[in-house]
Structure 1
């Protein structure tokens, strides 16, 4: 059956602004020996195999080599405890790549799925500032960057990226703590991206 999810997303990684991995289609290495990233998604509206998943949140936590196209990624899923069993299964299948779409396209790069856990997730997005807190596992807050030389105050955008959306707003994180699935780091002060997203398959 066809599915679709759309809403807003943001991420924080340990690259300096602006992350070369995303902006090169994974052909340029990260700024550090390992790429440590957390991606947070809020699904405004969505349906997966007849299951309504609107209003729920998902986070992806990952560790990858500096040149991400080499593969061997370790990924883990954090699912919204507000989801029913059916909703959690539907979201895990979409964001785990089992139902096609963008995450399936990345599947060949994943060497280890560290699992999934259900936790309380608090997600906020006011257009320029984005924050997510997931139990004791994750606390990330980012802000899109606005150039002081830009009178329009529209912010710095990077286009032609493709995943998880075509155009991303670039920014930096004020918080970037992750400690889950054997992955632990603090990426405060490092790169962030944010964007509306719409996936389907």
Structure 2
């Protein structure tokens, strides 16, 4: 059994025209367009995998889901920070393909076709409240929390059973561009979310 843990932040932008219904329905409600296409970024502030340090690395993902999230048959690809050692690369592939079980183990059940993992320059930056993810020339995204009634306070869905984390900040994509594996996606202005993550094998 692998021993792993990562803590940090996740951002996701999908093709839903309003905030992703999968968060509150736990994947039982269809995406607003009937299918889900998304890119995701993870900033690992602190992490390890069987003694291999993962702290400071960034991950990108592409997700292509034909219908209800809970029904599976996902296609997924992972982009691993080019700064990762060979051991860290292998560890992150195990985590983000679901092989390492634990929090991301559901990927091994829901992903029908893992399109592979590759090294890329993956940057995850925060400017004010905006988070930006760049994966080489393949993904360029930026998401910003939506405005709420109280100035300066983020709008959140809290205490959910969502697998990523219980509290999800509602955001909107300033930019959401994917150019890879035959996919040309532009999700500017579409649904996005920000989540603090604490994932692991237990």
Task: State the match for 1:162 in structure 2.
Answer: 162
How many residue pairs end up in the alignment? 199
Q: Distance in 2 between matches of 1:34 and 1:162?
A: 19
Check conservation: 1:76, 1:181, Cα contact below 8 A. Answer: no
Q: 1:69 Cα shift?
A: 1.7
Q: 1:161 Cα shift?
A: 4.1
Task: State the match for 2:22 in structure 1.
Answer: 21
- Helix, strand or coil for the counterpart of 1:83? coil
Q: Distance in 1 between matches of 2:27 and 2:128?
A: 27
Higher mean Cα deviation, 129-138 or 63-72? 63-72
Runs of 4+ in structure 1 over 3 Å off: none
Q: 1:105 Cα shift?
A: 2.0
1:184 and 2:184 are equivalent in the alignment: yes
Q: Which runs of 5+ in 1 are unaligned?
A: none
Note closer, same or farther for the CA distance 1:126–1:196 as it changes in structure 2 (3 Å cut): farther
Check conservation: 2:96, 2:107, Cα contact below 8 A. Answer: no
Q: Deviations over 1:80-138 (max 9, x none)?
A: 01111111111111111111122212322211101111111111124621110010110
TM-score by length of 2: 0.93
Taking the TM superposition and a 5 Å limit, the aligned residue runs for 1:10-159 are 10-126=11-127, 128-147=129-148, 149-151=149-151, 153-159=152-158
Note closer, same or farther for the CA distance 1:164–1:127 as it changes in structure 2 (3 Å cut): farther
Check conservation: 2:146, 2:172, Cα contact below 8 A. Answer: yes
TM-score by length of 1: 0.94
- Helix, strand or coil for the counterpart of 1:106? helix
Check conservation: 1:8, 1:42, Cα contact below 8 A. Answer: yes
- Helix, strand or coil for the counterpart of 1:130? strand
Q: Which runs of 5+ in 2 are unaligned?
A: none
